[in-house]
Amino acid sequence: MKFSDFEDCHSCDKKEFCSRSSGLVYLNSGKYTGSDKHTCDVAGIVKDMYLSEKS
Q: In the window 1-55, what residues touch ligand SF4 (CB under 6 A)?
A: 8-9, 12, 14-15, 18, 20, 35, 39-40, 43
Of 53, 30, 50, which Cα lies nearest the Cα of 42? 50
Q: How far is the CB of 54 from ligand SF4 (least distance, A)?
A: 19
Instruction: Give dist(CA 11, CA 49) in Å, integer.
Output: 21
Count of residues in contact with ligand SF4, rule CB under 6 A? 11
Q: How far is the CB of 24 from ligand SF4 (least distance, A)?
A: 10
